[in-house]
Structure 1
Amino acid sequence: MGWDWFTDPDYWASRLAFQRMLAAIYLIAFLVALNQFRALIGTRGLLPVPQLVARVPFRLAPSVFHFHYSDRFFAAVAWTGALVTAALVFGVADSAPVWVSLVVWAVPWVLYQSMVNVGRIWYSFGWESLLLEAGFLAIFLGPAGMAPPVPVLWLLLWLLFRVEFGAGMIKMRGDRCWRDLTCLYYHHETQPMPGPLSWYFHHLPKPLHKLEALASHFTQLVVPFALFAPQPASGIAAAVMIVTQLWLVASGNFSWLNVLTITIAVSALDSKLLPFSPPPLAEPPLWYRVVVLAVTALVLGLSYRPARNLVSRGQIMNFSFDRLHLVNTYGAFGSISTVRHELVFEGTDEPDLTPATVWREYEFKGKPGDPRRRPRQVAPYHLRLDWMLWFVPLSFRYGESWLERLAGKLLVADRAMLKLLRHDPFRGERPTFVRARLFRYRFTTPAERRETGDWWVRRPLESALDPRRLNAEGVPVAAE
């Protein structure tokens, strides 16, 4: 039999496209870290890394930051990841020896793993684990001068299957509206971060919303099984998933989740769908074949619990069963919110609070705020603070460890924090008081939009954080 089965040149172009796209997503992730870490997890951030590594051992959260942490060192790690992945985007490892390719692709995986494992809630999203799992498999795909290894291609299919089928099963086990096909009556309006077209998607006729839900079920519950069929069925299944993910890209902002799922699906397209001729390809060395088979056995062994989770009545989503995020569970929106609540932060520079106090509003980059502002296209960039502020109204336990500290950062006009905002009404000066109020938001109707030009209608509900001020020690306290 020999080793003829081990590689397949028909996937040369798709392997190359997958690597380029994955490197670009890595690059975005490192740039996000560079722009946001000081305010969120830096030494003076909302949830500092030094506090975590002082009480959580390395074995529970493997990270280079257990050996040393400073904001300057974190920035150096993030810049290293950004530079390496930028080089990979331009194919610097394409003609390298196999061992060099493995080492170069391992660098961003190790560095980003280190960030995720100390990032706490700010790095708790499912697409972080998805990037790490896909990034781990990418290490073993080999350079462009060698045909792609079939075992790793199959592992990518297994990953894509779990992403899609897991999302489908969590919906069927979750909110009843997924079963009666009415969830999308609400979802485009209540999703974490609507995009520029979300208003239009929300106002589609209800029969089309039901068709959207039905198409989602078909793509996530039926199509994934065709991934393991011979070509062209496998490639067609991947193409259907790509089209569905592009629909999600158009209808909302989900960080790099959708483009990463598209990237993984691209690896399933053979030369009939990506008709690019490969150059003469070298045979892989024996040691590399042994390594790939060992990795395949490891991933299959670790797949037991995620696979069992898929068929479990108590299915959990976006969970890692191992500390290195090698094989994970995925899924999203098992429950759908039917109303949208938003936290609105306000401040004043008046010396005393009175019924006539004028409050000025802080504006965030992605989350809804000013009703006149059209929702922005943010993805595949990830606004971590905006996302977490969407979770807080669902349950204030999401913000109990940092919401008060956020108010404190606004009171001292913390420069790192203000960089995460779209608009600071005090232009870098300190307010005397800060508060947060809970608002009910909904999209305007077409008639309201024509009349006012607004994208949202909102009304205040209650106080989410009573006015805070700084005491003599510079600590935020409730205003008297």
Structure 2
Amino acid sequence: MDWFVAEGYSLGRLLFKEGLAAIYLVAFLSAVNQFRPLLGSDGLLPISLFLRNASFRRHPSLFHLHYSDRYFAALAWTGVALSAVTLVGLTDRLPLPACMLVWLTLWVLYLSIVNVGQTWYAFGWESLLLETGFLAVFAGNADTASPWAILLLLRWLLFRLEFGAGLIKMRGDSCWRDLTCLYYHHETQPMPGPLSWHFHRLPRVLHRVEVAGNHITQLIVPFGLFAPQPIAGIAAGIMIVTQLWLVASGNFSWLNWMAIVLAVSVLPDRFFAGVLAIPAESGSTPPAYVGTVFAVTALVLVLSYWPVRNLISHRQLMNASFNPWHLVNTYGAFGHVTRLRHEVIVEGTVDEHLTPDTIWEEYEFKGKPGDVRRRPGQFAPYHLRLDWLMWFAAISPSYARAWFAAFIAKLLENDPATLKLLRRNPFPAAPPVFIRATLYRYRFTTRAERRATGAWWERAEVGEFLPPVRLAWLSRR
């Protein structure tokens, strides 16, 4: 079956699968570490309450069979274990049916989490991981030949990821068209990284070059993925370099790493000659496997109708799933770039009576800006879900309506699980009496300010986000 086999892609396929396993591992660890305060039985948005009104048809998940925090932890830890054994190559050495079963289990487990994760899991990279993970089920093992159909579907996914992001920018904010978006983006992005201050302080002419390069990478280069080699490999290489630039400039969970993993699958073995050992080619193509691959290819082609229609629409949706299984989605990011950065700063006090002299102590989050002297950290590909939602809350309180009051109540109780989501609790001995939240305008310091003060940020108070409240008041609401 020479027409089925993609010769010369054994290493690219292997690196794709190992990279995807690493991202699965991070995703499941993120679930293990954060689900109790966010989604657990006593969390901010309990899964058990969500399931009362959620149908399996609209939200397919194993948790419709049963939910408890122990059951969630067991499923998430199973995902961690399967991801780890896959990452070290054990899954690839299993017989083909067993290998496919492991990848299918990873997909089902993570789909089950995403579909009950509510706003904490409403990010485009969740669907991207699921769509990629579904295709990985059919990518074969070490004993099977690389299937052309699956490699082409991975390119089709990468094309939609990049081209969709490029279109949403050109159709969205005018700053993408006049090449000025990076005057603001490095400063106002959801979670700046250690180098974001330096990126922001680059000359503006370089910012314009960056935007122009982004347009080329997302609107022109993706078509090269379907050209013969070496053009397809060069196109993928350009995308990898661009994504590494984005990794260096900010924290976008595993979004950039997913694009890199997909792009690696495009690279032929000869691109790695002299650098990495090339696995021996295998020509095994069991008839049942061939039939399954082409059935999946037909399914993806049919489901592609909705993303294609969305791509050509002037009302293009960003990061949308057209089915509850998160198969063949549409992607995009930063159709609008905020010009000003606002942060919600949460503070507490032990004073029983509030006066102008009341001392307020500030809670510090792990990733989002707070202390102006604290340098932004590197967290991606790990996803700090609360920190990301706090960025959205600063844009509009409506993003926090479902969970913010519950979050404040947990802080007023000194809830241990919730406090583990934070970097610093200013009240380790006893909970605060009052908590308030204030909206601040943040901007990166200039080079002169940075030398003089040592601060990375300068901030100014904008107004009240939440007036001072105490636990008894929240309990009566």
Which of 162, 168, 171 is 2:169 aligned to? 171
Q: Does 1:348 align with 2:346?
A: no
1:69-108 equivalences under 5 Å are 69-108=67-106
State the partner residue of 2:374: 373
Residue 447 in structure 1 maps to residue 445 in structure 2: no
User: Equivalents in 1 of 2:108, 2:173: separation in Å?
Assistant: 37
Distance 1:47 1:281, change over 3 A: same
Alignment of 1:397-436 (within 5 A): 397-427=398-428, 429-436=430-437
2: CA distance between counterparts of 1:344 and 1:327? 38
User: 1:396, 1:457 → 2: CA distance?
Assistant: 23
Question: Deviation of residue 351 (structure 1)?
Answer: 1.1
Assess if the C-alpha contact under 8 Å between 1:186 and 1:336 holds in 2: yes
Q: Residue 187 of structure 2 aligns to which amino acid in structure 1? A: E
Whichever residue aligns with residue 137 of structure 2, its letter is: I
SS state of the match for residue 167, structure 1?
A: helix
Contact kept? 1:165, 1:221, Cα under 8 Å: yes
**Change in CA separation of 1:282 and 1:97 when aligned onto 2, cut-off 3 Å:** farther
Q: Which residue of 1 aligns with 2:132?
A: 134
Residue in 1 aligned with 2:390? Answer: 389
For each residue in 1:306-345, what CA deviation from the matched residue of structure 2 results, as whole angstroms up to 9, or x when unmatched?
0111111000011100110011010000100010000000
Aligned counterpart, 1:18? 16
Matched residue of 1:59: which SS?
coil
Q: CA RMSD in A?
A: 1.0
Percent of aligned pairs sharing the same letter: 59
Match in the other structure for 1:5: 3
Contact 2:346 2:438 in 1 (8 A): yes
Which residue number corresponds to residue 217 of structure 1? 215
8 Å Cα contact 2:10/2:280 also seen in 1: no
- Which of residues 106, 115, 118 is equivalent to 1:117? 115
Structure 1 distance, partners of 2:476, 2:236, is 52
- Give the aligned length: 474
The CA distance in 2 between the partners of 1:327 and 1:179, in whole Å, is: 28
Query: Which SS does the other structure have where 1:287 is aligned?
Result: helix
> TM-score scaled to structure 2, two decimals?
0.98
TM-score (norm 1): 0.97
Which residue of structure 1 lines up, in the alignment, with residue 475 of structure 2? 475
Residues of 1 paired with 2:476 and 2:29: CA distance? 31
2:228 is aligned with 1:230: yes
1:423-478 C-alpha deviation (Å, 9 max, x unpaired)? 00001521101111000000000000000000000011111011111228x7176x
Query: What's the offset of the Cα at 1:279?
Result: 2.0
- Counterpart of 2:154 in structure 1 is 156
> Deviation per CA, 1:123-164, whole angstroms, max 9, x where unpaired?
000000000000000000010122211100000000000000
Unaligned ranges ≥5, structure 1 = none
Quote the Cα distance in structure 1 between the aligned partners of 2:281 and 2:160.
Answer: 34
Q: Determine the C-alpha separation between the residues in 1 that align with 2:132 and 2:158.
A: 10
| 1:60 aligned counterpart, secondary structure | coil
Q: 3-state DSSP class of the match of 2:302?
A: helix
- Measured against aligned partners, the alpha-carbon deviations of 1:283-323 in whole angstroms (never above 9, x if no partner) come to 21000000000000001100001011111100001110011
Q: Secondary structure in 2 aligned to 1:329? A: coil
Do the aligned partners of residues 280 and 306 (structure 1) sit closer, same or farther apart at CA in structure 2, a change above 3 Å counting?
Answer: closer
Amino acid at match of 1:402: W
Structure 2 SS opposite 1:439: strand
Greater mean alpha carbon deviation, residues 187-196 or residues 144-153: 144-153
SS at match of 1:333: coil
1:281 match: 282
> Displacement, 1:97?
1.4
Checking the alignment, whether the CA contact within 8 Å between 2:345 and 2:370 is kept in structure 1 is yes
Amino acid of the structure 2 residue aligned with 1:416: A
Q: Is the 8 A contact 1:441 1:458 kept in 2?
A: yes
User: Equivalent residue for 1:188?
Assistant: 186
Matched letter for residue 319 of structure 2: N
Counterpart amino acid of residue 254 in structure 2: W
Superposed, 1:42-61 pairs within 5 Å as: 42-61=40-59
Q: Deviations over 1:52-80 (max 9, x none)?
A: 11111111100001110011110000000
Question: Post-superposition shift, 1:95?
Answer: 2.0
1:99 deviates by 0.8
Separation (CA, whole Å) in 2 of partners of 1:139 and 1:94: 11
Question: 1:235-273 CA deviation, whole Å, 9 max, x = no partner?
Answer: 000000000000000000000000111001000000121
Aligned 8 A contact 1:306 1:327 in 2: yes
Q: Is the 8 A contact 2:10 2:281 kept in 1?
A: no
Structure 1 280/394 Cα, relative in aligned 2: closer, same or farther at 3 Å? closer
Where in structure 2 are the equivalents of 1:240-251 lying within 5 Å? 240-251=238-249
Partner of 1:363: 364
Residue equivalent to 1:458: 459
Contact 1:7 1:148 in 2 (8 A): yes
Secondary structure of residue in 2 paired with 1:140: coil
> C-alpha distance in 2, partners of 1:76/1:333?
36
Separation in 1, partners of 2:289, 2:351:
68
Give yes or no for contact 1:168–1:331 (8 Å, CA) kept in 2: yes
Deviations 1:148-203 (A, max 9, x none): 11100000000000000000000000000000000000000000000000000000
CA gap of 1:282–1:454, structure 2 versus 1, over 3 A, is: same
In structure 1, what is the Cα distance between the partners aligned to 2:472 and 2:465? 21
Corresponding letter in the other structure for 1:86 = A
